[in-house]
Structure 1
Amino acid sequence: VPARYAVEQGADVVIAVAIDKDIVLSSELQTAVDIYVRAGEIMGFHLEQYDLKNADLIIRPELGSIHWTDFSQSKRLIALGEAATLDSLPELRRLAKSISRGALMGRIRRSVKGLFVRRPSGIG
C-alpha cells in the first residue's frame, strides 16, 4: 500500500517496507523494448522514493540477488524481512515513544467512530 494512502486514511504513524533496488546502469540498452523497460524502472524508482517521504520509518530488507516476485524464495524473503525488522527495533521503539497521547486518542476516536450510528432527531 503506498504510504500516502495510509496517511490519507488517517494513519498517525506509517511504517513502510521498501524492497527497491538501485537502478543498474551497466547493462546496455539495445532495443526499444530495453529502453521502455528501463524507463519504467526509473519511473517506478522515483515514484517510490517520492511516496516514501510519507513514511515515518522505512524498513529496507537486503534482498541480495533475489527479486521480490520470486515466490519460490518466499521463506527466504520473509526471513530477510524479519531480520530487517529486528534491526529496526531501536528506531521502532523511538517512534513508539514519540507517539503522543493525543495522537493515540485520535486513532481510538477514528476507530470507534463507525461503531455507533446516530439516530436522526425525532426517532426513538
Structure 2
Amino acid sequence: AVEILFRSDSITSAELRKLQLSFADVVITPKVGRFHWSDFSKPEQCVREGEIAAQNAILELKKKLKKVKPSWWKRLFY
C-alpha cells in the first residue's frame, strides 16, 4: 500500500511539473542527467552544462524578447 502511495505521489509530481513548464516562455534544460542529484563532487561540470544550455537558448530568448510589447505606460512616455 505504501508503494502505491509513493508511486501516485511521483506521478502527480511529474504531471504538475509538466503543467508548470507549459506556462514558461523558454525552458533551459542542462544535460545533467548523468549526475546523481546528491553527487557534489563535480560542481564545475554541472555549472558548465548549465552555461552551455543557456548559451544555446540565447537565440530563442532574443526572439521572444522582440515579440514583447512595451507596457502602455512606456509607450505613452517614450
- Give the structure-2-normalised TM-score: 0.71
- Cα distance between partner residues in 2 of 1:104 and 1:67: 47
Q: Distance in 2 between matches of 1:68 and 1:103?
A: 44
1:92 aligns with 2:78: no
Distance 1:57 1:38 in 2: 29
Measure how far apart 1:103 and its partner are.
Answer: 7.2
In 1, distance between residues paired with 2:73 and 2:33?
37
Q: When you count strand as a share of all residues, which structure comes out higher?
A: 1
Show the counterpart of 1:102.
Answer: 71
In the other structure, the counterpart of 1:43 is 12
- Paired residues, number: 74
Matched, 1:76 2:45: yes
Greater fraction helix: 2
Aligned AA for 1:96? Answer: L
Question: Sequence identity, in percent?
Answer: 31
Are the aligned partners of 1:59 and 1:85 in contact in 2 as well (CA < 8 Å)? Answer: yes
CA distance in 1, matches of 2:24, 2:2: 33
Distance 1:42 1:97, change over 3 A: same
Higher-Rg member (1/2): 1
TM-score (norm 1): 0.49
RMSD: 2.4
Letter in 2 for 1:47: L
1:57 lines up with 2:18 in the alignment:
no
